[in-house]
A = this chain, B = another copy of it.
Amino acid sequence: MPINFKNFINSQALKSKMNDFQDLDHIEGVSISTISANLYEKPRDDVVMFYFRDGANYASVYTKSKIVSENIKWNRNIKSKKIKSLLINTRNANTFTGPDGYKGLKEIAEEISLKLSKKQIEDEAHPTKVSVDEIIFGCTGTIGEKFPTQKIKENISELVNKINYIQNKYIWMKAALGIMTTDLKPKLAMEECEIGNKKIKIYGIAKGSGMIFPNMATTLGYVFTDADLSNDILNKLLKKNIETTFNAITCDGDTSTNDMVSIFSTGKVNNTNIKNINDKKIKSFDEALHLVLLNLAKRVVADGEGASKFITINVLKSKTEEGAKKIAFSIANSPLVKTAVAGNDPNWGRIIMAIGKTDINIEINKLSIKLGPMKIIEKGQLSKNYIEDDAKVYMKEEKNINIDIDLNLGKKNFTAYTMDLTKKYIEINADYRS
């Protein structure tokens, strides 16, 4: 169900949210505007424009699906090293829309180019043109439905009119709300850090697995910083940090045709030139970026369809990181484990099953399993201190369930995040349209 922004902005939920983000203000060089292009039956903000008036360096990671949306194809064709605008619509995935879908993006990019170029020339401080090759797109929503080119195009002029160079902090919340599909909560994260004694901001927004009409679960994440970093550095930092954040979460093991996470740096802070991600001066930024991405990724899981519990699975002391990851995801994607958590059932037999079904070799007499603080299996034997009733109380009372798998075979670890599988998931995914 689309969120009514006017109700939401006045609600207790938003106020408490805003307390989390009271320091959010603006990132120099980033402007945001949102609009309802009437893509939904009940109007809500459904198109969000990010405008980087002096351009932004950027890097993106896209879905690994072999079938991708037209906007992902568009983005991959961009040659420009700097981006001036990112436009996101949250109603139409622009997948299986054929040449018309791609052509629609081109028409919209031409309109954005025209209107933003006009604005840049009017605002004498930024008198360069915005080219079609400096615009990228985020899309999520229904697959195979005609892309609403006209409706979006008609609203570009107003989106550009609404742009302010200095914006109040609520604009970030509006952007986070504007990219939601059936997410129940907007997802924002912010960190501050330093590069060579210069203070740097990193803000991010994301949307999670939700459905429209109903269709695809899609993850979109956009991160913005005022640091001055090259595309190469941004790319390396994003690829490195995505592995333990957005690539460490799973809701239902399904992957969309539209998944996209991007980082944009406006370069407004005149920090030291960074040529290598092993440079000590980038360490604080690297850590802060990791926190922003992890925070957003966790919010996606916590708001996964039908989720009532957040599950963290730590696989420890594996021979290889790949092995740790396979076991962690085998547990995280197991419907039997996820329904057991939904039912407050410390059913460790299902964890054993999920460990066993991967192709990773383990040694049972070295395997230990913990549920929260409780040891269940110690070196292949049921722990003498394990009391199932205590485990049931833990399952029932905790909203955050921790499962630790210690393989005792090596030095590599991997942590995966997921949520439980509830009747609500089936309701959302089976009953929504019927």
Contacts and interface: CB of A to CB of B under 8 A. Distances in A.
Residue among A255, A339, A421 facing the most chain B CB atoms (10 A cut-off): A339
Contact of A335 (B252, B344, B364): B252
A336 interface: yes
A53 B245 CA distance: 61
Given A98-B381, A255-B353, A335-B335, 19 more contacts: A63-B356, A64-B357, A65-B356, A66-B358, A66-B360, A66-B361, A67-B356, A96-B349, A143-B349, A143-B353, A144-B349, A216-B350, A252-B335, A254-B334, A254-B350, A257-B353, A336-B429, A340-B429, A342-B430
A426 interface: yes
A340 B254 contact: no
Contacts of A63: 356
Interface string A316-347: 00000000000000000111100110111101
Nearest to A306: B426
Contact of A343 (B93, B377, B434): B434
6 contacts: A93-B349, A98-B381, A254-B357, A255-B356, A257-B353, A423-B430
A348 interface: yes
A20 interface: no
Given A335-B429, A426-B422, A257 B356 contact: yes
Q: Top 8 nearest A-B pairs by Cβ distance?
A: A143-B349, A343-B430, A67-B356, A65-B356, A339-B429, A255-B357, A339-B430, A342-B430
A254 B354 contact: yes
A335 B143 contact: no
B252 A434 contact: no
B434 A426 contact: no
Contacts of A364: 67
A31 interface: no
A190 interface: no
B356 A217 contact: no
A252 B253 CA distance: 12
Interface in A46-69: 63-68
Given A96-B377, A342-B430, A432-B343, A353 B423 contact: no
Interface in A375-434: 377, 380-382, 421-423, 425-427, 429-434
A131 interface: no
Interface residues of A, number: 65
A215 interface: yes
A76 to B, nearest CB: 15
Given A216-B350, A340-B430, A349-B216, A253 B96 contact: no
Contacts of A427: 423
A214 interface: yes
A353 B65 contact: yes
Interface centre among A68, A144, A342 (most CB of B within 10 A): A144
A345 B143 CA distance: 14
A151 B358 CA distance: 34
A353 to B, nearest CB: 6
Most buried by B among A354, A380, A429: A429
A356 B68 CA distance: 8
Interface in A190-225: 214-217
A182 interface: no
A256 interface: yes
A265 interface: no
A429 B98 CA distance: 42
A90 interface: no
A71 interface: no
Contacts of A429: 335-336, 339-340, 343
- The listed residue with most B CB atoms (<10 A of its CB), out of A253, A355, A357, is A357
A352 interface: yes
Contacts of A348: 143-144
Given A143-B352, A349-B93, A430-B343, A336 B66 contact: no
